[in-house]
Amino acid sequence: MSRTRTERLVNLVICLLSTRRFLTAAQIAQTVPGYEHDPSLPKDHEAFQRKFERDKAELRMLGVPLETGTSSVFDAEPGYRIAQRDYALPEVELEPDEAAAVGIAAKLWRDAGLAAAASSGLVKLRAAGIDVDPHATLGIEPQMSVEPAFDPVTAAVRERRIINFDYQVPAEDAPRTRRLQPWGAVCWRGRWYVVGHDLDRRAARCFRLSRVVGKVRAAGEPGAFSVPEGVDLIDHVARFSTASPVERTGRATVRLLPGRANGIRRRADRLEGDVATLAYSDPEHLAELLAGYGPDLVVLDPPEVRDAVVKVLTNLACAHTVRSEVVA
């Protein structure tokens, strides 16, 4: 079965590539070996139709661009053909070092789906005559993976379709539905984002794919919007995920226990023996960091930082009283 089916499919591809006219199913049945049947017998004809539908689906799944249409106004039913320019990989020439780069890149994926896609893409490049060293490796192993939202998001970007999705920000109690014209996907510091025009906020926004809850739903027609000229996707995400730099004008002086609070020693702006100076902008923020070192340090100055640390520590002390201690 498998062999005859594969043979039939290869012949179908060759036949449809060789024709400029659209061929109807009936014409294909008369031409391509393996479709022989008696169209006057309903049962026979139905079996052919089912077989032909399955074969078309198989070709489409493989990415064979099956065109449907009619060659003239006299044709009663649509026919099929494959345009060589849509079918064939365009000419591509890679220098040896470029071929090596593709070969290494194709191995970076950890996701089974994308790893398979990368390697089948690589097979096509090799079929186009590019020699790729299968043993080339990289000294570093990046663990590249994606979230489930990646596929529907990149498909919508490609087709320029609007997407709807539920988005859960930690500070909010329930996810909210967002409507977006997706411009592109960005991997920034190992996390995936989608950048686009938020239709409700009427502004450019980016969203972390890991915060998408449930399915990404494509809505409306393809080609529904165009991406503004000169959009810098990375820049959008970098600004979103990195707090805008603020001027750190405050100076806090902190005394450290000998040999302790090493994290503070590493980030101190000045360190003299066991006394560290730290620049800061927000006293509460600095207090959180400093309270993390517990009794390993004491803030000497200024009072706003010292008071903030004492407040945090007092809260922590109150909240962490083991019940048995209270009873005793």
Partner 1 sequence: MTPSADRLGRLLNLVPYLLARPGIRLADAAADLGVSERQIREDLELLWMCGLPGYGPGDLIDMAFDEDSVTITYDAGIGRPLRLTPDEAVALDVALRLLAELPGSMDRGVVHRTLAKIEKVAHSGPAIAVGMPEQPERAEQLRGAFERGRALRITYYTARRDAVTERTVDPLRLLMADGRTYLEAWCRLASAVRLFRADRIDELTELDEQADPPSWAVPAERGTKAFQLTPELPLITLLIQRPARWVAEYYPCESVEPQPNGDWLVRMRAGDLAWARRLLLGLGGHVTALGPPELVSSIGEAARQALAVYEAEPALSARPE
- Using CB under 8 A as the binding rule, the residues of this chain from 260 to 279 that contact partner 1 are 260-263, 265-266
Task: Work out which of 68, 84, 177, 281 binds partner 1, going by CB under 8 A.
Answer: 84
Our finding on whether 39 is near partner 1 (CB under 8 A) is: no
**Is the Cβ of residue 60 or residue 73 nearer to partner 1 in the bound state?**
60
Residue 283 beta carbon to partner 1: minimum distance, rounded to whole angstroms: 12
- Cβ closest to partner 1, residue 68 vs residue 314: 314
Q: Count Cβ atoms below 10 Å from residue 305 Cβ, excluding itself.
A: 25
Q: Is 218 helix (H, G, I), strand (E, B) or coil?
A: strand
Binding positions for partner 1, 133-162, rule CB under 8 A: 134, 138-145, 151, 154-155, 157-158
- What angle (nearest 5°) sits at the alpha carbon of residue 83, between those of residues 78 and 84? 160
Cβ proximity to partner 1: between 92 and 246 the closer is 92
Interacting span for partner 1 (CB under 8 A) from 44-52, 68-76, 131-139, 215-223: 131-139
**In the structure encoding, which two tokens stand for residue 26, read together?**
């009936």
Number of residues that bind partner 1 (CB under 8 A): 129
Question: Least separation, in Å, of the C-beta of 322 and partner 1?
Answer: 5
Write the CB contacts of 48 (distance below 8 Å, at least 6 apart in sequence): 25, 29, 35, 37, 39
Helix (H) or strand (E) holding 58: helix 42-61
Chain-centroid distance of CA 32 in Å reads: 41
Window 194-213: residues binding partner 1 (CB under 8 A): 210-211
Residues near 166 by Cβ (< 8 Å), separated by ≥ 6?
175, 176, 177, 178, 212, 213, 214
DSSP H helical ranges for 144-220:
150-159
CB-CB neighbours of 290 under 10 Å = 25
Sign of torsion over alpha carbons 177, 181, 187, 189 = negative
Measured from the CB atom, the residue of 41 and 222 that comes closer to partner 1 is 222
The verdict on 58 binding partner 1 (CB under 8 A) reads yes
Nearest to 181 by CA among 200, 206, 199: 199
Phi-psi region of 230 (alpha: psi -120 to 50; beta: other; left: phi over 0): left
**CB 120 → partner 1: shortest distance, Å?**
6
Between 25 and 237, name the residue whose CB sits nearer to partner 1.
Answer: 237
Shortest Cβ 103–partner 1 spacing (Å): 10
**CB of 73: closest distance to partner 1 in angstroms?**
25
Contact range with partner 1 by CB under 8 A, out of 40-48, 69-77, 178-186, 216-224: 178-186
Tell me the C-alpha distance between 65 and 233, whole Å.
31
Residues 6+ apart with CB under 8 A from 67: 22, 80, 81, 82, 83, 86
C-alpha to C-alpha distance for 264 and 260, rounded to whole angstroms: 9
Residue 64 within binding range of partner 1, rule CB under 8 A: yes
Q: Which of 253, 271, 277, 279 binds partner 1 (CB under 8 A)?
A: 253
**40 interacts with partner 1 by CB under 8 A:** no
Interface with partner 1, residue 184, by CB under 8 A? yes
Instruction: Tell me how far, at minimum, the Cβ of 38 lies from partner 1, in Å.
Output: 20
Residues 87-126 that bind partner 1 (CB under 8 A): 87-90, 92-95, 97-98, 101-102, 104-106, 108-110, 113-115, 117-118, 120-126
Residues 290-309 that bind partner 1 (CB under 8 A): 291-296, 298-303, 306, 309
The least distance separating partner 1 from the CB of residue 76, rounded to whole angstroms, comes to 22
Of 144, 150, 163, the residue nearest 210 (C-alpha) = 150
- Rounded Cα–Cα distance for residues 38 and 46 (Å): 10
